């Protein structure tokens, strides 16, 4: 089956195209201007439901994402929204933006299916996507998307590179990770924020899967990732909830990273 071409564009606040390139299976743009508020990167695909490797900012790593819509948009961050990115990201007057169709072997490989440093609030149209019922003070540095951005530094808080998911002291806090399609999971890894003694930690957490199953994870006070092998199950989403805070003086447990390892349930044929 021939590959469908994709297209990258950079648009301004009014929707005017600032730069584009001919559609192809692999597209790169070199934008030689400073970004302005309201600018966005748009990725168009010929057929919705494709796997793409995107790199919307050249100081950040590429990510393999599942694109569910015909067009997705990534808003260039400014102000408080930029606090979760390196000061070098989206800065200056020369930017390389890349996207390509993922190879079948990349899609079929076992990997961390939660990784997406380009995730954002709302219906982004591409996955994985993290959301939560609470984020501390609504600040970007405590947003759910920080838990899947691949940044593991966790000995401080409140600014890049120490962004995290903060729960605003809410015992009912829950984070949902949506994969946008069926995947088979066999391992979870949690990296707790470890800015001790400012931080507390969770002694246990429950992961509920949309197939109706659940796992309770016993957690420790440690900065390193904590890995949990689980019986393989086919799901489209999971929710981290029932977070049990340790009995200590700090009221501030938080999550730095959530990883979900496994494979696609229906990988494309090579």
The pLDDT tens digits for 143-153 are 999 999 999 99
Mean pLDDT of the chain: 96
| pLDDT at residue number 269 | 60
pLDDT > 90 fraction of the chain, expressed in percent and rounded: 95
Instruction: Work out the average pLDDT over 82-108.
Output: 97
Residue in 46, 41, 45, 49 with CA at minimum distance from that of residue 66: 49
| pLDDT at residue number 267 | 75
Contact between 111 and 141 (Cβ < 8 Å): no
Q: How confident is the model at residue 1 (pLDDT cuts 50, 70, 90)?
A: very low
Q: Residue 236 has which token pair?
A: 């489209």
Alpha-helical runs (H) found in the chain:
104-108
Instruction: Work out the average pLDDT over 95-117.
Output: 97
Q: Residue 151 has which token pair?
A: 């940044």
| pLDDT at residue number 265 | 97
Could you report the per-residue pLDDT of 190-232, keeping only the tens digit for each? 999 999 999 999 999 999 999 999 999 999 999 999 999 999 9
- List all residues 6 or more positions away from 198 whose beta carbon is below 8 Å from its beta carbon: 157, 250, 252
Q: How confident is the model at residue 268 (pLDDT cuts 50, 70, 90)?
A: confident
Sheet containing 63-67: which strands, arranged edge to edge? 26-31, 95-101, 50-55, 63-67, 126-127
pLDDT value at 93 more than 50: yes
pLDDT value at 8 more than 80: yes
| pLDDT at residue number 183 | 98
Instruction: Work out the average pLDDT over 107-136.
Output: 97
Instruction: Work out the average pLDDT over 223-248.
Output: 98
pLDDT value at 3 more than 70: no
pLDDT > 70 fraction of the chain, expressed in percent and rounded: 98
Ordered by where they begin, the domains of the chain are: 6-102 (no CATH), 111-264 (2.60.120.260)
Instruction: Work out the average pLDDT over 43-59.
Output: 96
In whole angstroms, how far apart are CA 260 and each of 36, 105, 191, 236, 239?
Answer: 35, 19, 12, 12, 12
Contact between 267 and 107 (Cβ < 8 Å): yes
pLDDT value at 2 more than 60: no
Residue in 63, 64, 225 with CA at minimum distance from that of residue 152: 225
In this prediction the pTM is: 0.96
Instruction: Work out the average pLDDT over 56-67.
Output: 98
């Amino acid at each position: 089956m021939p590959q469908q071409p994709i297209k990258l564009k950079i648009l301004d606040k009014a929707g005017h195209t600032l730069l584009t390139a001919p559609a192809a299976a692999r597209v790169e743009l070199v934008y030689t201007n400073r970004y302005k508020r309201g600018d966005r990167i748009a990725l168009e695909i010929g057929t919705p439901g494709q796997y793409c490797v995107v790199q919307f900012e050249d100081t950040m790593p590429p990510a393999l994402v599942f694109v569910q819509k015909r067009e997705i948009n990534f808003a260039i961050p400014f102000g408080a929204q930029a606090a979760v990115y390196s000061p070098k990201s989206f800065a200056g007057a020369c930017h390389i933006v890349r996207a390509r169709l993922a190879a079948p072997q990349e899609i079929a490989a076992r990997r961390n299916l939660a990784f997406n440093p380009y995730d954002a609030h709302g219906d982004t149209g591409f996955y994985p996507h993290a959301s939560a019922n609470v984020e501390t003070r609504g600040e970007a540095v405590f947003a759910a998307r920080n838990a899947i951005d691949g940044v593991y530094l966790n000995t401080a808080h409140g600014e890049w590179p120490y962004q995290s998911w903060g729960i605003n002291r809410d015992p009912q806090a829950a984070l949902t990770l949506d994969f946008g399609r069926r995947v088979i999971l066999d391992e979870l890894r949690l990296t707790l924020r470890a800015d001790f003694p400012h931080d507390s930690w969770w002694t246990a957490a429950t992961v509920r899967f949309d197939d109706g199953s659940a796992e309770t994870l016993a957690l420790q006070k440690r900065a390193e990732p904590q890995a949990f092998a689980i019986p393989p199950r086919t799901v489209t989403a999971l929710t981290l909830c029932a977070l049990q805070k340790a009995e200590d003086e700090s009221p501030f447990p938080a999550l730095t990273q959530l990883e979900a390892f496994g494979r696609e349930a229906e990988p494309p044929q090579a």
